[in-house]
C-alpha cells in the first residue's frame, strides 16, 4: 500500500526467543517471468494461514476469494528489512514485495475475519512486481495557485535521490538532491521559484525523480 511506512520496534527480536512463530502452511518460491497460482486453500472461522516467500526479483501477491466476498478475508505481509530493526507491514488485496530493498524474510498472512460462517476458499496469485527503492506521491496542492508545493517521498534503500522540476520545453526550473543512508519518509517543499530565485511562470511542470534503480515522471 502506498501509505505503508517503516516501523521500528527494538524489543521485537527478543520476543522470538520465548514465543515461537506460527507454523508456516507453505513456502512460495517465485522466479521472474513466471505466473504462480496457489489455490484450494480453505479457512475456518477465525482461522489464519501463514506463508513464507522466497524470491530474488520483485513480486506482486494478489488475494482472490473463491467463495464469499473479499471483505470476509484479511490479507497482509510482514517484511523484515536487512541490517536494521525495521519491519514493513502492508495490507490490502494486492501487495508488492521487492527484495532489492534488502530483506531478511517475508511472512504472508490470510485470515477469516467474519464473526460467523466457515469454509472460506481463496487463491493467492504471484506475478512479476516492480522495483520500489523509493516512492514519490502526488503533489499537493496541485495546482499550486501561487503557493508552495509539497512533495512526499518515501525512501526504502540507501541511495541518492535527485528531483528535478522541468517545464514543457524540458528546461530545468528547480532541483533537489539528497543522500539517504537509511529508510526515511519526508516532505520536500518547492517554493515556486526557479533556479534564479524568481517566481516560476504559470504553466504546466513535470517532476523527474531519479534514484538508484529507477526514474519516474509525474
The predicted-structure confidence for 4-63, as pLDDT tens digits, reads as follows 555 555 555 544 443 455 678 899 999 999 898 988 789 988 899 999 999 999 999 999
* Domain boundary pick from 128, 161, 196: 128
In this prediction the pTM is 0.62
Q: CB burial class (10 A; 0-12, 13-18, 19+) of residue 50?
A: middle
Same domain? For 166 and 116 the reply is no
Q: Which residues contact 5 (CB under 8 A, 6 or more apart)?
A: 154, 185
Q: For a pLDDT cut of 70, what percent of the chain falls above it?
A: 89
Question: ω into residue 143 within 30 of 0, thus cis?
Answer: yes
- pLDDT mean across residues, the chain: 84
Query: What is the side-by-side strand order in the sheet with 215-217?
Result: 172-180, 159-167, 205-210, 215-217
Same domain? For 63 and 164 the reply is no
Q: Which residues contact 24 (CB under 8 A, 6 or more apart)?
A: 50, 51, 52
State the number of CA atoms in the 13 A half-sphere of 191 facing the CB.
7
Same domain? For 122 and 146 the reply is no
Indicate whether 12 belongs to any domain.
yes
Same domain? For 70 and 86 the reply is yes
Please report the pLDDT score of residue 16 as a whole number. Answer: 45
CB 133 within 8 A of CB 161: no
Which segments of the chain does DSSP mark as H helices, in order? 12-15
50: domain range?
Answer: 7-128
Query: What is the side-by-side strand order in the sheet with 86-91?
Result: 7-8, 86-91, 73-81, 103-112, 48-55, 26-30
Give the start-end residues of each E strand in 144-193: 149-155, 159-167, 172-180, 184-190
The total number of structural domains in the chain stands at 2
* 187: three-class secondary structure by DSSP: strand
CATH number of the domain where residue 69 is located: 2.60.120.510
* Domain boundary pick from 75, 98, 128: 128
Would you say residue 175 has pLDDT above 80?
yes
Amino acid at each position: 500500500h502506498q501509505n505503508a511506512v517503516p516501523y521500528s520496534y527494538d524489543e521485537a527480536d527478543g520476543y522470538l526467543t520465548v514465543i515461537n512463530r506460527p507454523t508456516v502452511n507453505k513456502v512460495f518460491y517465485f522466479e521472474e517471468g513466471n505466473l504462480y497460482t496457489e489455490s484450494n486453500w480453505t479457512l475456518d472461522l477465525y482461522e489464519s494461514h501463514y506463508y513464507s516467500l522466497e524470491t530474488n526479483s520483485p513480486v506482486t501477491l494478489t488475494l482472490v476469494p473463491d467463495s464469499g466476498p473479499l471483505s470476509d478475508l484479511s490479507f497482509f505481509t510482514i517484511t523484515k528489512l536487512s541490517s536494521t530493526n525495521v519491519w514493513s507491514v502492508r495490507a490490502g488485496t494486492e501487495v508488492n514485495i521487492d527484495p532489492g530493498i534488502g530483506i531478511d524474510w517475508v511472512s504472508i498472512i490470510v485470515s477469516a475475519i467474519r464473526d460467523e460462517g466457515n469454509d472460506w476458499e481463496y487463491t493467492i496469485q504471484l506475478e512479476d512486481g516492480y522495483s520500489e527503492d523509493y516512492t514519490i506521491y502526488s503533489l499537493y496542492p496541485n495546482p499550486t495557485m501561487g503557493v508552495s508545493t509539497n512533495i512526499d517521498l518515501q525512501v526504502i534503500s540507501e541511495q541518492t535521490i535527485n528531483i528535478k522540476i522541468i517545464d514543457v520545453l524540458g528546461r530545468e526550473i528547480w532541483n533537489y538532491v539528497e543522500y539517504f543512508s537509511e529508510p526515511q519518509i519526508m516532505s520536500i517543499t518547492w517554493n515556486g521559484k526557479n533556479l534564479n530565485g524568481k517566481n516560476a511562470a504559470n504553466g504546466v511542470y513535470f517532476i523527474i525523480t531519479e534514484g538508484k534503480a529507477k526514474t519516474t515522471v509525474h
